Amino acid sequence: MRNEVGGTVHGPVVQAGRIGTLTMEAVVPVILPGTKKPGLIPAPTRHFTDRRAELDRLTALLEGEAENPAPRVVVLTGTGGIGKSATALHFAARLRGRFDGGQLHADLRGDATATAAAPSTVLVRFLRALGVAPQYVPAEEQEQIDWFRTLTADRRLLTVLDNAHSVAQVLPLLPTGPGSLTLVTSRRRLSGLSGAVGAHHMALPPLGPADAALLLTRLAGREPGPAGSGAGAESVARHCGGLPLALCVAGERLAVRTHLTWEQLERDVASAAAHDRTGGPDGEAHDPVTAAVDTSYRDLGPDAARLYRLGGLRRWPALTAPAAAALVGLPEARAAELLEELASLHLVEEYAPDRYRYHDLLREDAARRAGQEDGPGRSAAAVGRLLRHHLAAAAAADRCVIPDRWRLGPAYARLPQERPSKDEAEKATEWLLAERENLVEAVRAADEYGLDDLTWQLCEALWSLFLRQGFHQDWLSTHRLGVRAAAACPDIPEAEGRMHAQLGFALLRLGRHEEAEAAFRSAAEADRRCGHRRGEATAVESLGLVRLAQGRFTDAADSFRAAQDLAEDPRAQALLVHHLGRALSGQGRHADAADTLERARSLMVGLPDPYNEARVLTSLGEAALAAGDRERAAALLTEAAERMASQEVPVQEADIAALRAKAAATPAERRGFLTEAIERYERLGSPEAAALRAERDAIGQDAAEGQGAAEGQDAVEGQDLPEQQDPPEDQDPPEQQDAT
């Protein structure tokens, strides 16, 4: 947002204040037009049984809302396999009619510290579901929390936070609207939530004998039958310990094997349970889930059993048919059949179309079996195949999203070079978003298995996803591993500088300028050591962008000149001249800035690069405003608007309209440009619309006073700090393109 005293404020929140006679309110998120109420909570399982007492308690809790409308938090706790997630979804389905603000859901993956979802990652998803445009989701977690609380303050929301790991993970994700309800599930007690938000805790016990037998018969799809088979169902339930997960595995086996009798199932489960009580081959006694799985596992064919084992080696958020095919080395169609076979026996869950996952207890069982039957060598080979699959698919998608940037990874050399269509680019973005958690886990797996070449290449392939969509905490965690891995790969020495530079841009986006500068310095040094001039030029230019963001205009200009000495590409040179002109304008060297920007414009015309020519025209208009030449600024910005209109970049068109308002000669003209900018920003979901609306309304209330204020401000408002910077090597997205 443009600051009326001569700067650009980056990020979504602007401090409330007063400028002359204009009172500015704090900017709040703008919701994309047409956004529907979120409905993220999955459907409950069809065979849910019991938990009537807990539902009665929850309903009674909600009845007290009139006396205390504060948002409610209920924590469902219990051992693994007790049915916490199913209970939360069942409760949500029964109660959703009470919550007209929509429903939110997140799997917090809290069964292990290493895989627990960061609050920032969940907040990005929630903000987008609530209607915030991806490009305006804040990078900083505290700003994300502030926006989430603002957007939920007037909504009556129903939220399910499944498989929580800690109180610190949960607190930022709690909606603030009166009457809202959040259901949290966890194996841990999370007692700190009671003091923090007055949470109510419900510990789920195992199912009673009657309800356990009822669940079994529902899952089997047939009645127990005569001649003592009822006792068989009750006996199976007893061996399953009343754990819904174990009951589901046993019941699904009976449903799939139509000739299997209750008595046979009872004997199988009893035998497995007796084996567990005495300890298996590994000398460990297993829980009822293992006993139930043993009976189903013996029914699997060799391929399905192998997929079950190998799929549990890592905490993959999802398994798809292509991934499963890579894991077991079989055709994709066959892998799809195997996943369906596993799902039919309740060994994996199809939680979305063609996407499967393990319950954490079943994943642990599968990993144990892989260790016994496949051994370390075959297990590592399977993980390696899956990592290479993820790398190839991510590299292909990354190239579709940003086709023109330079890349180092060998994975890109095997890709077709045809320019992707717009439809292909959109599908690639959708794939990257869907697979983000898998790809982040792939980076961790590659690092843990010591596959350094795959670690840094996976990071490089995630670049367009992070650049376009954010997820800054994932960006930081993966690329820190990428830096270490690249340094251990002497075959491609340029990779180290690449990783430092990409990490630097994550830090720059987060406003951590000193750390970003250190990362770019490391990138420049690494590239200098291996003689990679293109990488060094990019790193030095990036240092200039950091200094622009800090308002260190002289240092920024020095960096851009140093990068000019290194850059060899004509387009890189043209963009560096543009950067230099902006730095000179920031220094107040108006004549030098105008000359430099005119040279940049000439270079852009010669390339040709119509989009960046329009960007340079915009910078020329800003420089003219800074020099106090409103008439010239108006002419330049009019030409910039005409050129930008043909480029289909709505963000830049909105920015130019806002600048034209500053160059307007009359209050009526200023109001007209502000209206245009507001309408464009609102269509984009930009938070800048709110501040401009306040400015326009002030002009409408007192045009003469508004004109006087505008004239007083225009003498200083042109010395803008630089816009949010984008990576030098990336030409896309065009609405943010700044550099080489």
Sequential DSSP letters for 138-174? -SSHHHHHHHHHHHHTT---EEEEES---HHHHGGG-
Q: Which residues contact 514 (CB under 8 A, 6 or more apart)?
A: none
What are the structure tokens assigned to 188, written together? 């841990």
Question: Which stretch of 232-246, 488-502, 554-568 has the lowest confidence by average pLDDT?
Answer: 232-246
How far is Cα 491 from Cα 488, in angstroms, rounded to an integer?
A: 9
Cβ atoms within 10 Å of 473's Cβ, excluding its own: 20
**Highest mean pLDDT of the ranges 102-111, 280-289, 517-526, 714-723:** 517-526
How far is Cα 160 from Cα 467, in angstroms, rounded to an integer?
A: 29
| DSSP at 39 | B
What are the structure tokens assigned to 675, written together? 């209206």
Look-up: residue for tokens 């398994």? 319
Helix (H) or strand (E) holding 352: strand 349-352
Q: What is the pLDDT of residue 177?
A: 93
Contact 240, 272 (CB under 8 A): no
How far is Cα 409 from Cα 411, in angstroms, rounded to an integer?
A: 5
Q: What is the pLDDT of residue 210?
A: 82
Contact 735, 724 (CB under 8 A): no
Residues β-bridged to residue 104: 159
Contact 355, 336 (CB under 8 A): no
Question: Which stretch of 59-63, 468-472, 558-562, 722-726 has the lowest confidence by average pLDDT?
Answer: 722-726
Per-residue pLDDT for 676 more than 90?
yes
The CA angle 531-521-406, to the nearest 5 degrees, is 55
Per-residue pLDDT for 627 more than 60?
yes
Per-residue pLDDT for 718 more than 60?
no
Cβ atoms within 10 Å of 421's Cβ, excluding its own: 10
Q: Which residues contact 148 (CB under 8 A, 6 or more apart)?
A: 123, 126, 127, 130, 172, 173, 175
Q: Name the pLDDT band for 700 (thresholds 50, 70, 90).
A: low
Contact 296, 253 (CB under 8 A): yes
Residues 258-300 pLDDT 10s: 777 777 877 777 776 666 554 544 444 456 788 788 888 988 9
Once rounded to an integer, what is the mean pLDDT over residues 183-200? Answer: 92
How far is Cα 66 from Cα 636, in angstroms, rounded to an integer?
A: 60
Q: What is the pLDDT of residue 725?
A: 56
Q: What is the pLDDT of residue 62?
A: 81
Once rounded to an integer, what is the mean pLDDT over residues 162-178? Answer: 95
How far is Cα 92 from Cα 58, in angstroms, rounded to an integer?
A: 11
Once rounded to an integer, what is the mean pLDDT over residues 240-257? Answer: 82
How far is Cα 384 from Cα 381, in angstroms, rounded to an integer?
A: 5
Q: What is the pLDDT of residue 249?
A: 83
How far is Cα 655 from Cα 644, in angstroms, rounded to an integer?
A: 11
HSE-up (13 A, CA, CB side) for residue 5: 5
**Coil, helix or strand at residue 30:** coil
What are the structure tokens assigned to 265, written together? 């199932």
**Coil, helix or strand at residue 45:** coil
Contact 717, 5 (CB under 8 A): yes
Q: What is the pLDDT of residue 218?
A: 83
Q: What is the pLDDT of residue 10?
A: 33
Residues β-bridged to residue 201: 75
Q: What is the pLDDT of residue 704?
A: 46
Q: Name the pLDDT band for 719 (thresholds 50, 70, 90).
A: very low
Per-residue pLDDT for 229 more than 80?
no
One-letter amino acid identity for 523? A
What are the structure tokens assigned to 651, written together? 């963000």
pLDDT > 70 in the chain, percent: 86
Q: Kindly report the length of the chain.
A: 740
Which runs of consecutive H residues, i.e. helices, occur in 462-589?
A: 463-469, 472-487, 494-509, 513-530, 533-550, 553-566, 570-586
Would you give the end-to-end CA distance of the chain in angstroms?
24
Q: What is the pLDDT of residue 726?
A: 55
Look-up: residue for tokens 């960007």? 615
Per-residue pLDDT for 504 more than 70?
yes
Q: Pick from 60, 84, 85: which is nearest to 72 by CA? A: 60
What are the structure tokens assigned to 371, written together? 């260790």
Q: What is the pLDDT of residue 288?
A: 79
Once rounded to an integer, what is the mean pLDDT over residues 556-573? Answer: 94
- Burial (CB count within 10 angstroms: exposed 0-12, middle 13-18, buried 19+), residue 348: buried
Q: What is the pLDDT of residue 644?
A: 92
Contact 402, 725 (CB under 8 A): no
Residues 326-354 pLDDT 10s: 999 999 999 999 999 999 888 999 988 99
Helix (H) or strand (E) holding 249: helix 244-256
Residues 193-221 pLDDT 10s: 999 999 999 998 888 888 888 888 888 77
Residues 81-109 pLDDT 10s: 888 998 999 899 988 889 999 999 999 99
Q: Name the pLDDT band for 252 (thresholds 50, 70, 90).
A: confident
Q: Name the pLDDT band for 735 (thresholds 50, 70, 90).
A: very low
